[in-house]
Amino acid sequence: MGALCSVIRFENLQELKRLCHWGPIIALGVIAICSTMAMIDAVMWYWPLDTTGGSVNFIMLINWTVMILYNYFNAMFIGPGYVPLGWKPEKSQDCMYVQYCKVCQSYKAPRSHHCRKCNRCVMKMDHHCPWINNCCGYQNHASFTLFLLLAPLGCIHASFIFVMTMYTQLYNRISFGWSSVKIDMSAAKRDPLPIIPFGLSAFAASLFALGLALGTTIAVGMLFIIQMKVILRNKTSIESWIEDKAKDRIQYYKTGEIFIFPYDMGSKWKNFKQVFTWSGIPEGDGLEWPVREGCHQYTLTIEQLKQKADKRVRSVRYRAIEDYSGACCPVTKGVKTFFTTPCTEEPRIALCKGDLLLATRGLKHWMYGDKVLDSTTDAGMRVRGWFPRKCVEKCLYDSEMDQPLDGEKKNR
């Protein structure tokens, strides 16, 4: 019993550590600033104890804050749900249709992907979100999307309060002369005097909070639109990318195949219900999924295996000609390399002169691929990420196949 309690306490402590990250610190800081300033300004603009409208306005403001924080912490602490360690398909012959994760020592269930940040295979993984310092997936997709909806709505309400407070507080403080406009911020020229003094610092704080609220409305609102698009198609962001790569593979090899995404139920309402339910618990177990007619559980995983094989065939071998420290924005590799660093949390590979790499995709000044490791000393390890294009040169011949390599894979 004591050991069980120790494990529970350790897991709770690990979850609380999620707050110690720049993403949650910034997100909660913005929520705290906007909510606090909105409540202070609401008291100055529309005193809640005098009228029904003021009371409703203040209660709504508190309600936005509570619902935003509730869904935010749900998305963070409930998490996406992970594939059980050691999981494998019920039928042993189905193992050939799914990928095996060496880190988790189990097969990857349909729609699951391994997250390098969480170090687990995540069920129905959409993406790893730095703002909640956790993955968005099967169990927390609804809470995460509701947070993306409620945050802009709350910020719109707060922005209205900021604007009305600044307008009403400044209205009787402005005097117009023949050649100048004066603003007296020392005191309000009205009766009764405001309960909370509104001076220059209060005006600056309200203006700053207004900027935060408007910026949050635009940025988070765009993320909400993106999430709703994938939800109504019953896809994740990763699955949309897999579908695009499937079309690219079929077009590249002219196989004549027709790839049908298996999880789109053909109705936006049915797709919507896959994520949002009255109970708050998503449908299914996160391991098996309803599929459309003509598809089966492993339609998508089979396509992933084809893409993985195609990736190995179309990868191009490079050799490092310069050392590279693995810095995100290397100063010594040129101005263009510095300013065009990939906007992603994917890792960078540190290079030593002479290292061999297999590049699978690239940008104009950066490439992404795997480092070729010594199979005898680094068995089971995999090092992959971005590296500057100017630090490597293309190998004319494959040392293992002793054949000229095919052309580099087309940049996406």
Rounded Cα distance, 30 and 42, in Å: 18
Question: What residue type is 308 in one-letter code?
Answer: K
User: Which one of the listed residues 129, 135, 155, 391 is annotated catalytic?
Assistant: 129
Strands 392-394 and 316-320: antiparallel
401 three-class SS: coil
Tokens of 353: 């002169």
Using CB atoms within 10 Å of the CB of residue 363, give its burial: 0 to 12 exposed, 13 to 18 middle, 19+ buried: middle
CA gap 34, 31 in Å, rounded: 5
Inter-residue contact 97 to 305 (CB < 8 Å): yes
Catalytic, 329? Answer no
- The answer to whether residues 90 and 97 touch, using CB atoms and an 8 Å cutoff, is no
Query: What do you get for the CA distance between the two ends of the chain, in Å?
Result: 54
CB-based burial label for 83 (10 Å; 0-12, 13-18, 19+): buried
Q: Where are the alpha helices (DSSP H) in 87-232?
A: 141-171, 200-232
By annotation, the residues acting in catalysis are 129
